């Protein structure tokens, strides 16, 4: 339970004056609600920040008002002139004046009684809006604000502009936001006083007030002092939370698991290559973690083709050597089955019994897998989200591998860990997308990291070229020559089928187009197909029954066909760098020289060109990841849209990387001297964790 002083902030947005059920529906669309939250709360409005301001501070006279500008006038209402009866196109006009001249206030499709109440003849009013000229007459159409002299203070002279949704008016949202800042509680200062003073940052409450009620147009810029203050608060809360979770896991009794090495020796003997130095180093780190009495939580990150699957198999073999079971969870069925194909021949030689469980295993097949698993007759179970289900019971689970960690939430990771009983399990998470240090600190701060930096011997570099889409026919001619020499080709498109709203190539249309040249040697693979249909297509391509595979990004991760040596990516300018790198990694896996053709629609924007040039210049996934972060910015890369990771609500700022590094150092320093947050600053930092809903960390220190 969070402290009572936060209750006003975490109550429903419906408790605000003027917000009813209809507006709640609109707020649900307009606000970015955190995962698991379905009803807008006041705190969600608080972090719904402006994108700019409307400046109403200009107060000209009628005579000096400039058409096209926004300003505020003090006027006397003279006369109402309703449109002729039956003429719905004519406007409702109101003549008004000040000491220097006259102005017409114009309204279309308006309610006469409402306007007469708002602007009674003979009364003084303040109106604010955009000035226009109609011939010689100064006009203001549909003033944004009409207020009585005694309510002049309610007129927002610097009005924040918020992201909206259809049906939600700026005025209603602005009124709700003004109430929201009044609910911000009095909180102790959690930042170091000298750090605050050096940066000129205001208190948290003052920062919130200046963002929603700016006194200067610059206040609502992400580089402003108020925004920077709150961005740093959010990053510090995240770093503290990760640190607390990590320390808690590390201090929790785990399960010491050691093997005798016999199965690992058989796997190594069955390989056609020697392990790289970084593979051996990663295995040593994993084995040491597994042998320790505390729980292991390690991230294995490696570039495309760096051999993570072999490391994972060797690590799982340690658990089986110790008499226990292991499991490997993949995000898609295609990838799970690919893992089985890669692992099964090696596992068989080592005496490891493999099982597969995805959403497609049903009825008797599924029941058989579950019975064998519970009886300990399956040593390693490979599967998808199906592994989470309650009826999936292991005899003795000691080790979990989670592939493509960013596609699963932390709660899913915890659910799988729980299947290991009271001592939990040792966990290895893997990603084929090299992660920049910034992202490691932000979203993997609770994990130790092993990094694979080499590719297995014999891998040839992939030659990458750029070509405009108007050269497609030339590309196809080149493919004909390559196919005649026995090559196989991937052709990747961004969409399944074409639509009126998009110019992007559609996989189905491109499949039909290429079939005119290559006949029934062209296959189609996309996410809209059934599991068995995907498998049949993939198997035909693997067996070289198909020469060309037209696909969407369903092949981005894990697909392994060594004979495929050409990758064509259509509309490459629409893909992120990390995704392009993953797709290119599907070729260059065999003995042939491989090629990647990035087809783009001209003209290219500056950022898109920089992305494609980077792909041409290097195959180093770690360099590419850093460049991706630089080009797209921290918030965009970290956003749920790209990777399934949580989005920041405030911390999408220009100097994100520097600020995150400072927050990381600050959190490390705090937790090293005050691990339970019991000092005066520690107690204040607990309030920060509540404010940014770092619930997992909060639960830990409440339980302490």
Read off the CATH number of the domain in which 145 is found: 2.40.50.140
**Shared-domain flag, residues 529 and 606:** yes
- 285 and 414 in a single domain? The answer is yes
What's residue 640's pLDDT? 31
The answer to the question of residue 140 being in a domain is: yes
Segment among 33-47, 587-601, 623-637 with least mean pLDDT: 623-637
The arithmetic mean of pLDDT across residues 214-231, rounded, is 94
Q: Based on the fold, state whether residues 200 and 283 are members of the same structural domain.
A: no
User: Is residue 636, in this structure, part of any structural domain at all?
Assistant: no
d(CA 638, CA 139): 47
pLDDT band at 590 (very low <50, low <70, confident <90, very high): confident
The answer to which of 145-154, 304-313, 430-439, 446-455 has the lowest mean pLDDT is: 430-439
Query: Quick check: is 93 in a domain?
Result: yes
Q: What pLDDT was estimated at residue 638?
A: 37
Burial classification of residue 628, based on how many CB atoms lie within 10 Å of its CB (0-12 exposed, 13-18 middle, 19 or more buried): buried
Q: Give the per-residue pLDDT at 700.
A: 59
pLDDT, tens only, 41-89: 999 999 999 999 999 999 999 999 999 999 999 999 999 999 988 888 8
Residue 411 has pLDDT above 90, yes or no: no
Q: What percent of the chain has pLDDT over 90?
A: 59
Q: Is the pLDDT of residue 669 over 90?
A: yes
| pLDDT score recorded for residue 642 | 35
Residue 641 confidence (pLDDT) above 80: no
For residues 614 and 562, membership in a common domain is answered with: yes
Kindly state whether residue 647 falls inside one of the protein's structural domains.
no
Per-residue pLDDT band for 556 (boundaries 50, 70, 90) equals low
Tell me, yes or no, whether 448 and 572 share the same domain.
Answer: no
Task: Report how far apart the first and last C-alpha atoms of the chain are (Å, whole number).
Answer: 14
- Residue 643: pLDDT over 50: no
101-118 average pLDDT score? 94
Q: Which residue has the tokens 């979203």?
A: 443
Question: How far, in Å, CA of 49 to CA of 224, rounded?
Answer: 13
What is residue 282's three-state secondary structure? helix
Q: What's the 3-state SS for 388-406?
A: HCCCCCCCCEEEEEEECHH
Q: Write out pLDDT tens, residues 184-213.
A: 999 999 999 999 999 999 999 999 999 999
In this structure, the answer to whether residues 199 and 317 fall within a common structural domain is no
The CATH code of the domain that includes 533 is 3.40.50.300
Q: At 591, is the pLDDT very low, low, confident or very high (cuts 50, 70, 90)?
A: confident
Among 349-358, 380-389, 475-484, the range scoring the smallest mean pLDDT is 380-389
How far is CA 315 from each of CA 25, 286, 311, 473, 552, rounded to the nearest angstrom? 49, 7, 6, 48, 32
- Does the structure show a pLDDT above 70 at 408? no
Note whether residue 668 is domain-resident.
yes
Strands 325-329 and 380-383: parallel
The answer on pLDDT for 425 being more than 60 is yes
Q: What pLDDT sits at residue 513?
A: 93
- Please check the confidence at residue 684 and state whether its pLDDT lies above 90: yes
- Per-residue pLDDT at 148: 96
Q: Say if residue 221's pLDDT is above 80.
A: yes
604-631 pLDDT, tens digit per residue, is 988 889 889 999 998 888 788 778 777 7
Can you give the pLDDT at residue 646? 45
Residues 276, 411: one domain? yes
Of 400, 428, 452, the residue at which a domain comes to its end is 452
Query: What local confidence, expressed as pLDDT, does residue 302 receive?
Result: 83
How many H helices and E strands in the chain?
A: 25, 21
Task: State the pLDDT at residue 644.
Answer: 37
Residue 401 has pLDDT above 60, yes or no: yes
Look at residues 27, 1, 3, 2 and name the one whose alpha carbon lies nearest to residue 13.
Answer: 27
Residue found by looking up tokens 């390690």 in the block:
298
Number of alpha carbons in the 13 Å side-chain half-sphere of residue 118? 18
**Across residues 375-403, what is the average pLDDT?**
90
**Mean pLDDT calculated for residue range 168-172:** 92
When pLDDT is averaged across residues 458-477 and rounded to a whole number, the result is 90
Whether the bond into 603 is cis, omega within 30 of 0: yes
For residue 453, the model assigns a pLDDT of 82
Give the alpha-carbon dihedral of 131, 134, 139, 144, to 10 degrees: -60
Phi, psi of 79 (to 5 degrees): -150, 140
Please indicate whether residue 644 or residue 152 has the higher confidence score (pLDDT): 152
User: Can you tell me the distance from the alpha carbon of 27 to that of 167, in angstroms, rounded to the nearest whole number?
Assistant: 10
Query: How many whole angstroms separate alpha carbon 265 and alpha carbon 271?
Result: 10
Kindly state whether residues 148 and 169 are assigned to the same domain: no
| Tens digit of each residue's pLDDT (9 = 90 or more) over 247-280 | 777 777 778 899 999 999 999 999 888 899 999 9
Using pLDDT thresholds of 50, 70 and 90, give the confidence band for residue 552.
confident
CB contact at 8 A, 677 and 669: no
Per-residue confidence (pLDDT) for residue 388, from 0 to 100 = 76
pLDDT for 696 equals: 63
Kindly tell me the burial class for residue 283, based on how many C-beta atoms sit within 10 Å of its own C-beta (0-12, 13-18, 19 or more). buried
Per mean pLDDT, which range of 42-46, 163-167, 232-236, 254-258 is the poorest? 254-258
Mean pLDDT along residues 563-589: 88
Please report the pLDDT score of residue 639 as a whole number.
Answer: 35
**Given 452, 480, 497, which residue is the final one in a domain?**
452
Least confident of 124-128, 207-211, 330-334, 535-539: 330-334
Lowest average pLDDT, out of 98-107, 499-508, 661-670, goes to 499-508
Confirm whether 303 is domain-assigned: yes
Is the distance from CB of 212 to CB of 182 less than 8 angstroms?
no
Write out the residue range of the structural domain in which residue 66 sits: 57-155
Mean pLDDT of all residues in the chain? 87
Res 535 pLDDT > 50: yes
Same-domain pairing of 496 and 360: no
Q: How confident is the model at residue 159 (pLDDT cuts 50, 70, 90)?
A: very high
Domain edge (last residue) among 390, 425, 452:
452
Selection from 21-25, 438-442, 450-454 with the highest mean pLDDT? 21-25
pLDDT at 645: 42
| DSSP character at residue 253 | B
Count of structural domains within the chain: 5
Cα separation of 429 and 300, whole Å? 6
Tokens of 5: 């002083």
557 and 605 belong to one structural domain: yes
Of 280, 331, 332, nearest in space to 310 by CA:
280
Q: Quick check: is 628 in a domain?
A: no
Kindly tell me if the per-residue pLDDT of 501 is higher than 50. no
Q: Checking phi first, is residue 519 left (phi over 0); if not, alpha (psi -120 to 50) or beta? A: left
Residue 240 in domain:
yes
Question: Greatest CA span in the chain, whole angstroms?
Answer: 98
Q: What is the mean pLDDT of residues 358-363?
A: 85
Distance, in Å, from the CA atom of 33 to the CA atom of 648, rounded to the nearest integer, reads 11
| Average pLDDT of the residues in 547-555 | 85
Model confidence at 697, pLDDT cuts 50, 70, 90, reads low
412 and 486 inside one domain: no
Please give the average per-residue pLDDT across 558-563, as a whole number.
75
My answer on whether 136 and 241 are in the same domain is: no
Is the bond preceding residue 60 a cis peptide, omega within 30 degrees? no
């Amino acid at each position: 339970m969070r402290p009572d002083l936060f209750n006003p902030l975490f109550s429903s947005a419906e408790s605000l004056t003027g917000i009813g059920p209809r507006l709640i529906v609109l707020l649900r669309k307009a606000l970015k609600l955190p995962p698991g939250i379905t009803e807008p709360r006041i705190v969600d409005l608080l972090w719904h920040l402006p994108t700019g301001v409307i400046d109403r501070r200009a107060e000209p006279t009628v005579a000096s008002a400039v058409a096209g500008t926004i300003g505020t006038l003090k006027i006397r209402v003279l006369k109402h002139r309703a449109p002729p009866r039956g003429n719905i196109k004519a406007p409702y006009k109101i003549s008004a004046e000040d000491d220097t001249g006259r102005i017409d206030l114009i309204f279309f499709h308006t309610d006469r009684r409402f306007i007469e109440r708002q602007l009674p003849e003979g009364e003084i009013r303040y109106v604010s809006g955009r000035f226009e000229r109609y011939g010689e007459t100064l006009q203001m159409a549909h003033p944004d604000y009409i207020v009585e002299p005694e309510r002049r203070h309610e007129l927002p002279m610097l009005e924040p502009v918020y992201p909206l949704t259809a049906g939600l008016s700026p005025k209603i949202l602005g009124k709700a936001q003004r109430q929201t800042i009044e609910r911000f509680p009095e909180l102790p200062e959690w930042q170091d006083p000298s750090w605050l003073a050096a940066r000129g940052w205001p208190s948290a409450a003052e920062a919130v007030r200046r963002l929603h009620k700016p006194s200067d147009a610059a206040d609502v810029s992400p580089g402003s002092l108020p925004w920077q203050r709150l961005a740093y608060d959010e990053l510090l809360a995240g770093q503290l939370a990760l640190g607390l979770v990590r320390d808690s896991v590390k201090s929790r009794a785990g399960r010491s698991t050691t093997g005798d090495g016999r199965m690992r020796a058989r796997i190594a003997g069955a390989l056609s290559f020697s392990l790289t130095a970084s593979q051996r180093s990663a295995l040593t780190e994993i084995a040491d973690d597994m042998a320790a009495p505390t729980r292991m939580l390690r991230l294995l990150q490696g570039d495309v083709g760096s051999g993570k699957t072999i490391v994972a198999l060797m690590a799982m073999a340690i658990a089986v050597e110790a008499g226990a079971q292991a499991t490997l969870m993949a995000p898609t069925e295609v990838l799970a089955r690919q893992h089985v194909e890669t692992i099964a021949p090696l596992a068989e030689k080592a005496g490891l019994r493999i099982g597969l469980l995805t959403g497609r295993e049903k009825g008797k097949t599924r029941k058989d897998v579950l019975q064998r698993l519970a009886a300990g007759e399956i040593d390693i179970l490979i599967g998808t989200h199906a592994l989470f289900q309650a009826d999936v019971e292991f005899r003795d689970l000691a080790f979990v591998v989670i592939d493509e960690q960013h596609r699963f939430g932390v709660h899913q990771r915890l659910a799988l860990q729980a299947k290991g009983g009271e001592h939990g399990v040792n966990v290895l998470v893997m990603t084929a997308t090299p992660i920049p240090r910034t992202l490691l600190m932000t979203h993997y701060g609770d994990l130790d990291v092993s990094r694979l930096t080499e590719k297995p011997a014999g891998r040839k570099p992939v030659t990458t070229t750029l070509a405009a889409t108007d050269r497609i026919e030339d590309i196809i001619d080149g493919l004909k020559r390559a196919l005649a020499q026995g090559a196989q080709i991937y052709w990747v498109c961004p969409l399944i089928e074409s639509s009126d709203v998009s110019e992007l190539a559609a996989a189905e249309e491109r499949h039909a187009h290429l079939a005119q040249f290559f006949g029934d040697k062209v296959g189609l693979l996309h996410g809209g197909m059934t599991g068995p249909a995907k498998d049949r297509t993939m198997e035909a391509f693997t067996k070289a029954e198909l020469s060309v595979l037209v696909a969407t990004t369903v092949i981005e991760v894990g697909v392994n066909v060594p004979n495929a040596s050409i990758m064509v990516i259509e509309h490459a300018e629409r893909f992120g760098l990390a995704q392009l790198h993953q797709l290119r990694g599907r070729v260059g896996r065999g003995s042939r020289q491989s090629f990647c053709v990035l087809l783009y629609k001209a003209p290219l924007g500056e950022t898109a060109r920089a992305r494609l040039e980077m792909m041409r210049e290097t195959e180093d996934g770690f360099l590419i990841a850093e460049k991706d972060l630089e080009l797209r910015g921290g918030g965009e890369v970290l956003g749920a849209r790209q990777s399934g990771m949580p989005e920041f609500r405030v911390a999408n700022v220009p100097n994100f990387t520097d600020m995150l590094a400072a927050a990381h150092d600050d959190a490390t320093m705090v937790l090293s001297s005050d691990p339970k947050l019991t000092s005066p600053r520690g107690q204040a930092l607990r309030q920060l964790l509540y404010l940014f809903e770092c619930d997992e960390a909060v639960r830990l220190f409440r339980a302490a």
